A and B are shown apart, each in its own frame.
Chain A
Amino acid sequence: MDNKNIPRTEPIQSATFTNPINAEIRRAAATGIYDIRGGGAKRRVPHFDDLLFLGASVSRYPLEGYREKCETKVTLGTRFAKKPIELDIPVTIAGMSFGALSGPAKEALGRGASAAGTSTTTGDGGMTPEERGHSSKLVYQYLPSRYGMNPDDLRKADAIEVVVGQGAKPGGGGMLLGQKISDRVAEMRCLPKGIDQRSACRHPDWTGPDDLEIKILELREITDWQVPIYVKVGGTRPYYDTALAVKAGADVVVLDGMQGGTAATQDVFIEHVGLPTLACIRPAVQALQDLGVHREVQLIVSGGIRTGADVAKAMALGADAVAIGTAALIALGDNDPKWESEYQKLGTTTGAYDDWHEGLDPAGITTQDAELMKRVDPVDAGRRLRNYLKVMTLEAQTIARACGHNHLHNLEPEDLCALTMEAAAMARVPLAGTDWYPGKAGF
């Protein structure tokens, strides 16, 4: 038979050795170092998209869209603090460090959050005057590195967040590569310019819940019991971590799932360690309920929150508020298509740019380069963030009214169903069209 006429098999790409996997093998072979990047898990995991609201029906009547009120206020820190934080909306800005982010980006976060009536948070690297000045409510992170930590700033904070872990890298520390260590960043961190700055993975002066209780006591004594103390954990063992944080005396628990962003970590860490946000919420709420402190100790959930629907779903599962990182950066202008030609030059494309640690961000957000950071106009970017926060709130209100609730906090698991078995199991709400979820007693 003529060779030319033999039917050929089609080239088949392996589902195991995919092009991205093979490219990573080649990159590792060439460099000898793991891939470091910013952002959160990119793989698909069960998420809020796998849940739907049921809306009103004969047995539940809805509220009139623009006529009947649907409250959005939330108070954080009612357990021990003399001055709890009062927010107009239940969407807060998560901790992102000065160093990872440029000064103008931090200022824009402060402006946007303040205009929307919510709080913003410092990060690994300390508090800058710009962000304190532009944030009406500022949460000061207490991290293992203690970069820039000092009692004056501590007393200027509206709340203190003891960071135990982050969803993107539970159990991991931080890394700010030399390229991003400008004079100012170096000075704030008491380290030489241009060296890689590692942030430790655990606190230098306490380990375990009993120590944490004493550490929280010390922080309260230094700040006269004025401000709320949050404990932030990455999503790993949410039931026990929440219970232990409560036992240690936290006013607020911040729970960050694996889709949560980071400024820079090993890709293998981001994609392979931790629980999806959806899987974290019910166990944490269960812990609060078992201890009789649900709503007294508030729960803030983060990791992949993008829309008012996500906000409403997190709250229906029992969260008191949410925090956003990545979405806030996108609102400021991160990964904007207008920089596509520059993303191409960096070997990437709009939406996929995540080499934030390199400090070359065309959008001027995750950089310390004096020229690039001029691309962020803090007033303009702050306004965009404010608009976005308002839209998320309006969306969440729209859903809550449709479910018949006059406060976002009245959303409940009974308002939800799940599209997949996995989501049903994780969120403990029935699979759509059934009254069953995996693990439900009695089946």
Chain B
Amino acid sequence: MQTYDLEANGLRGLNSTLQEQNGGTNKTAWEVVNPKGSHAIAVGLDSPIDVTVKGSTGYYCAGMNQQATVRVEGSVGPGVAENMMSGQVIVEGDASQYAGATGHGGLLVIKGNASSRCGISMKGIDIVVHGNIGHMCAFMAQAGNLVVCGDAGDALGDSCYEARLFVRGSVKSLGADCIEKEMRPEHIEILKDLLERAGSDAKPEEFKRYGSARQLYNFDVDNAQAY
């Protein structure tokens, strides 16, 4: 286990050290101490290393992650795992706005609650939130799965495309063009796998599925008020 003291050694040193492991390393386990809410911790990683952040982080923790597993033993600021491509990011606490924004792949797990716009513009990432999520989540979500074990706030899935949204609790309101959809066996399979990997004991059968009604895919004047 390698330990990096962020307060003592600075952000640039942390990211360049972790990024140096891109392309092969035997130093696979890292611990970051004294994060103190710093921004851009463990961004741009591209190797199958394990990074544990001992505390809470600021904006964009694990941004654009590839391959690495980043675990935050605290809460995260806005844009955790933004544009993640692959790998895993696990947040033990809560997440601020835009968690997993525009992510293309990999798995983001939030053990607490996620704030507004979680999964905004997601492009293939899987996100599992153990708690609740705020308003405008999965706005313009293109692809991937958003799983919410608690409740969802206002305007879930507004203007979403092909992303699948699964919510166990209540949904305060659905956004434009987002509807409840039939839960088919293949969806139960997807959910089962994601819940298992995210360490949740929720049952897939307890969830409802939401997604795009595909009514706004091509402009139609009769839908003008929905745009």
Minimum C-beta distance from A74 to chain B (A):
28
Residue pair B79, A150 in contact (C-beta under 8 Å): no
Given contacts A205-B98, A205-B101, contact A151 B121 (CB under 8 A): no
Bitwise, A149-173 to B at CB < 8 A (1) or not (0) is 1110011000000000000000000
Instruction: Say which size band chain B's interface belongs to.
Output: 35 or more
Residue pair B101, A196 in contact (C-beta under 8 Å): no
Residue pair B83, A146 in contact (C-beta under 8 Å): yes
Minimum C-beta distance from B100 to chain A (A):
10
A352 at the interface (CB under 8 A from B): no
Q: Which A253-284 residues sit within 8 Å CB-CB of chain B?
A: none
We find that the number of chain A residues with CB closer than 8 angstroms to chain B is 34
B92 at the interface (CB under 8 A from A): no
A178 at the interface (CB under 8 A from B): yes
Q: Tally the A-B contacts, defined by beta carbons under 8 Å.
A: 102
Residue pair A214, B117 in contact (C-beta under 8 Å): no
Q: CB within 8 A of A191: which of B78, B102, B142?
A: B142
Given contacts A206-B79, A223-B44, contact A154 B117 (CB under 8 A): no
A379 at the interface (CB under 8 A from B): no
Bitwise, B164-199 to A at CB < 8 A (1) or not (0) is 000000000000000000000000000000000000
Bitwise, A33-45 to B at CB < 8 A (1) or not (0) is 1000000000000
Given contacts A204-B121, A205-B101, contact A151 B46 (CB under 8 A): yes
Q: How far is the CA of A305 from the CA of B24 in the complex (A)?
A: 48
Tell me the A residues contacting B by CB distance below 8 Å: 31-33, 145-146, 149-151, 154-155, 177-178, 189-192, 194-196, 198, 200, 204-206, 211, 214-215, 217-218, 221-225
Tell me the B residues contacting A by CB distance below 8 Å: 11-12, 15-16, 19, 39-40, 43-44, 46, 58-60, 63-64, 66, 78-79, 82-83, 85, 97-98, 101-102, 104, 117, 120-121, 123-124, 139-140, 142-143, 159, 161-162, 217-219, 221, 224
Return 29 A-B CB contacts under 8 Å, by A number. Answer: A31-B221, A33-B221, A146-B121, A146-B123, A151-B44, A151-B46, A151-B66, A154-B64, A177-B219, A178-B217, A190-B142, A191-B142, A192-B162, A192-B217, A195-B161, A198-B140, A200-B140, A204-B120, A204-B139, A205-B101, A211-B78, A214-B58, A214-B60, A218-B39, A218-B40, A218-B43, A218-B59, A221-B40, A224-B19
